[in-house]
């Protein structure tokens, strides 16, 4: 890769990762219906495209593995054999090795070759050499072989004969159908797709003579997945190129810089809105109102540039579910819904690991073995559904299974057995509170560590990562019928809707997504239970956390308490404050070094009157008062 620029290598890594993620889903679909020619061709093209890009960059380990898979798929496409279970096992294992190769290349290391045992599973056949029709200067020895050339023609004319590993039917197999001859311009476009744009108007010389391309540039994997032109449609090639140019790739650092600038503009807008209320000038009011509308539109437009569909993460789960189910001898059908729901790219990437753990957990802990399901009157195949949908400024992601459900009493007993709770404290937990014991550090119901469980990433880590995203995770379970894990996260972390509250002279911000209501309660309604204050409301005892006491601020005796009711999973508690100032969108900034790491705080911001406000971590506040 010494002759390849870092920019080219970076583009390859990005697009190769997209192909790998898609291949996992396509392989699972092909395994369900091996006779589907569309899926077969899609998987073949994925491996072939990866091989071409890797060959240009000189990643020989990736070329060898992709070639083995491609040869096996080519024989199936030619009708010489059929797909067997070991082919699918080998295909999924090859994706794991290809992923490790990409990781190595990204780290600037040499990619390790796949083991010979894996290559043997593809059962490649010895190809018979055929005379080359066209030789194109490209990589390594500067030649592409007949099979690669046939694959390109196959992609150009979907109706032509499939690529096979056997001998070519003629020394120069260009005419693959009676009327499927390609013109010179179309052939030039094909070469341009391989090696960038050649000299316009240059006709290709048919026959065995080699065509030399000076200073070749890499073919974009995204471009290679574009819909091929129809036979005889030479005039439409330039129009297709114009369509491709409608999108450009932008460094994410530039997008982040724009988002930060918009955040500063939002702060300035908030400041002007505060001044407008104080000055009360009609012309200023109209100007600030116009600025408010324009800022909101700009903010929405900029945020959309960083949005990505959650399908980017969802696409890897068919492979995950398939691998876990096979290792546990279970039958599982994974359903994906709402993959086009969009989130900030940073959130999409951050949600990947928690969602992988929850899907694996649903199959490992939730779905029963086929015989047990059949004995209980269920279908042998379990169902896991992963769905996403937007709700206002937030996205809700749900992982649902139709398995055995979660027994709250078993969780209660396990917490006492492991010494995480004493028997008296455990006996006071409600059924819903017992379900949330799975989020305690060190909690597990597994009697033994397996390859699926016990990997050091427990449910406590999942919850903490969701909290870091200003999100919320809830558990719902019906014993014998299944469980639901519901995650709610904001569309973006750059600008956060908050509720501003005041204690003495200081202002604090609470994430608006966690606020259920604001109420005024008589101080005489406060009761004490197990040494902690609770508010009796609607025949329920709601725990109270007095923010004034936590901050060490004197709390005057008032007849009415101002209480902000906050949500934590399926529970709620009241936060006592001096005053509620109202709703405001704020820009999240890192905590000052003086308070970084202190529990109860998640960030800092500037509010409309120019003061600094600390953003409170409502989960940590509740945990500190348990």
What is the per-residue pLDDT for 536? Answer: 78
Asked if residue 402 has pLDDT above 70, the reply is yes
Mean pLDDT of the 67-96 span:
89
The SS3 call for residue 600 is coil
pTM for the model stands at: 0.65
Write out the residue limits of the CATH 2.40.50.180 domain(s) in the chain: 495-624
Residues in the chain: 626
Torsions phi, psi of 516, nearest 5? -90, -45
Whether the CB-CB separation of 562 and 576 falls below 8 Å is answered with yes
Q: Give the residue, 110 or 212, on which the prediction is more confident.
A: 110
Domain 495-624 class in CATH: mainly beta
CATH of 308-490, one of 3.40.50.2300, 3.30.565.10, 3.90.1300.10, 3.30.390.50: 3.30.565.10
Beta-carbon contacts of 384 under 8 Å, excluding residues fewer than 6 positions away, are 321, 332, 333, 334, 335, 359, 362, 363, 366, 367, 399, 400, 401
What's the mean pLDDT when you consider all of the chain?
A: 77
The secondary structure element, H or E, covering residue 285 is: helix 282-305
Asked if residue 398 has pLDDT above 90, the reply is yes
Torsions phi, psi of 389, nearest 5? -155, 150
DSSP string over 299-340: HHHHHHHTEEETHHHHTTHHHHHHHHHHHTT--EEEEEE-TT
Write out the residue limits of the CATH 3.30.565.10 domain(s) in the chain: 308-490
Write out the residue limits of the CATH 1.10.287 domain(s) in the chain: 252-305
Whether the CB-CB separation of 487 and 397 falls below 8 Å is answered with yes
Asked if the 252-305 domain carries CATH number 3.10.20, the reply is no
Written as six digits, the tokens of 348 are 């999409």
Closest to 543 (Cα-Cα) out of 519, 512, 566: 566
Confidence of residue 201 (pLDDT cuts 50, 70, 90): very low
Rounded-to-integer distance, Cα 475 and Cα 401, Å: 12
Confidence of residue 387 (pLDDT cuts 50, 70, 90): very high
Written as six digits, the tokens of 621 are 């506040």
Mean pLDDT of the 337-356 span:
88
What is the per-residue pLDDT for 224? Answer: 37
Asked if residue 1 has pLDDT above 60, the reply is no
Domain 6-244 class in CATH: mainly alpha
């Amino acid at each position: 890769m010494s002759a390849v620029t870092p920019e080219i290598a970076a583009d390859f890594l990005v697009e190769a990762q997209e192909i790998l993620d898609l291949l996992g889903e396509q392989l699972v679909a092909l395994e369900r219906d091996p006779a589907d020619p569309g899926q077969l061709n899609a998987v073949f093209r994925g491996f072939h495209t990866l091989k071409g890009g890797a060959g240009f960059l000189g990643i020989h380990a990736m070329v060898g593995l992709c070639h083995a898979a491609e040869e096996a798929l080519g024989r199936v496409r030619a009708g010489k054999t059929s797909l067997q279970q070991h082919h699918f096992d080998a295909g999924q294992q090859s994706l794991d090795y290809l992923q490790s190769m990409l990781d190595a290349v990204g780290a600037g290391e040499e990619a390790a070759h796949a083991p010979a045992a894996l290559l043997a599973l593809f059962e490649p056949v010895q190809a018979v050499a055929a005379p080359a029709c066209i030789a194109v200067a490209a990589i390594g020895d500067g030649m592409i072989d007949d099979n690669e050339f046939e694959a390109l023609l196959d992609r150009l004319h979907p109706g032509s004969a499939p690529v096979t590993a056997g001998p070519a039917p003629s020394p120069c197999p260009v005419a693959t159908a009676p009327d499927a001859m390609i013109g010179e311009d179309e052939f030039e476009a094909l070469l341009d797709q391989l090696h960038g744009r050649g000299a316009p108007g240059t006709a290709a010389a048919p026959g065995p003579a080699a065509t030399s391309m000076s200073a070749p540039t890499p073919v974009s994997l995204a471009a290679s997945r574009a819909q091929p032109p129809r036979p005889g449609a030479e005039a439409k090639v330039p129009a297709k190129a114009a369509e491709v140019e409608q999108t450009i790739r932008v460094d994410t650092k530039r997008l982040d810089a724009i988002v930060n600038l918009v955040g500063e503009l939002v702060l300035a807008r908030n400041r002007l809105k505060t001044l407008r209320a104080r000055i009360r000038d009609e012309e200023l009011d109209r100007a600030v109102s116009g600025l408010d509308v324009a800022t909101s539109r700009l903010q929405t437009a900029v945020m959309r540039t960083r949005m990505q569909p959650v399908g980017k993460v969802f696409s890897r789960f068919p492979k995950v579910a398939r691998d876990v189910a096979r290792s546990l001898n279970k039958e599982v059908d994974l359903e994906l819904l709402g993959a086009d729901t969009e989130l900030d790219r940073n959130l999409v990437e951050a949600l990947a690991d928690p969602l992988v753990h929850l899907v694996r957990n649903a199959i490992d802990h939730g779905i029963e073995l086929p015989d047990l399901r059949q004995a209980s009157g269920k279908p042998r195949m379990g169902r896991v559904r992963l769905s996403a949908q937007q709700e206002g400024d937030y996205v809700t992601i749900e992982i649902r299974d139709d398995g055995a459900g979660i027994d709250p009493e078993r969780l209660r007993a396990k917490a006492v057995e492991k010494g995480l709770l004493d028997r008296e404290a455990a006996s006071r937990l409600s059924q819903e509170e017992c379900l949330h014991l799975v989020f305690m550090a060190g909690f597990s119901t597994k009697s033994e560590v397996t390859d699926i469980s016990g990997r050091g990433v427990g449910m406590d880590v999942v919850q903490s990562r969701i909290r870091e995203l200003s999100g919320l995770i809830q558990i719902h379970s019906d014993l014998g019928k299944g469980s639901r894990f519901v995650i709610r996260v904001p569309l973006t972390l750059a600008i956060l809707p908050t509720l501003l509250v005041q204690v003495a002279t200081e202002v604090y911000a609470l994430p608006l997504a966690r606020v259920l209501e604001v109420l005024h309660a008589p101080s005489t309604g406060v009761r004490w239970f197990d040494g902690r204050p609770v508010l009796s409301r609607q025949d329920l005892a709601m725990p109270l956390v007095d923010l004034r006491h936590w901050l060490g601020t004197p709390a005057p005796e008032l007849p009415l308490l101002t209480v902000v009711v906050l949500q934590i999973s399926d529970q709620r508690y009241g936060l006592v404050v001096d005053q509620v100032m109202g709703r405001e969108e704020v820009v999240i900034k890192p905590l000052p070094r003086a308070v970084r790491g202190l529990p109860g705080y998640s960030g800092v911001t500037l509010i409309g009157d120019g003061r600094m406000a600390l953003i409170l971590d409502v989960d940590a506040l509740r945990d500190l008062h348990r």
